[in-house]
C-alpha cells in the first residue's frame, strides 16, 4: 500500500515538473517576449525592426509601437521577437 501511495505522489510530482518546464520563462527585467510579425500590419501603429546575423544575413520584422525589438542569433533559426516593456 505504501508503494502505491509513493508511486502516485511521484507521478503527480513528475507531471507538475513537466508542466513547469513547458511554461515560458519571463525575461530578466520583467520583459515578456511575443512572436514577431513578418508582414506589415494594415491597421494600428507598428515599429519596423531589423537586424543581422552572420549566417542568416539581414532580417526584418514588425512589432507594436510600444514594444522593443529583440533579436537572438544564438539559436537556429534566429529568434526575432517583440519585448513588452
Residue 20 has pLDDT above 50, yes or no: no
- The predicted-structure confidence for 26-58, as pLDDT tens digits, reads as follows 445 556 888 888 888 888 888 999 999 998 899
| Ramachandran class of 30: left when φ > 0, alpha when ψ lies in -120 to 50, beta otherwise | left
What is the reported pLDDT for 72? 92
Average pLDDT for the chain: 74
Phi, psi of 27 (to 5 degrees): -70, 155
CA pair distance 25, 38, nearest whole angstrom? 24
Residue holding cell 542568416? 56
Give yes or no for a contact between 82 and 68, defined as CB atoms under 8 angstroms apart.
Answer: yes
Average pLDDT over residues 4-18: 50
Q: How far apart are CA 13 and CA 8, in angstroms?
A: 9
The maximal CA–CA distance of the chain, rounded, in angstroms, is 63
| pLDDT at residue 16 greater than cutoff 70 | no
The predicted pLDDT at position 43 comes to: 81
Amino acid at each position: 500500500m505504501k508503494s502505491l501511495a509513493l508511486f502516485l505522489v511521484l507521478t503527480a510530482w513528475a507531471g507538475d515538473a513537466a508542466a513547469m518546464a513547458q511554461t515560458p520563462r519571463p525575461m530578466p527585467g520583467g520583459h515578456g517576449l511575443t512572436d514577431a510579425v513578418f508582414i506589415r500590419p494594415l491597421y494600428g501603429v507598428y515599429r519596423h525592426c531589423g537586424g543581422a546575423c552572420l549566417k542568416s544575413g539581414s532580417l526584418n520584422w514588425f512589432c507594436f509601437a510600444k514594444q522593443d525589438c529583440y533579436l537572438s542569433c544564438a539559436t537556429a533559426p534566429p529568434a526575432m521577437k517583440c519585448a513588452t516593456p
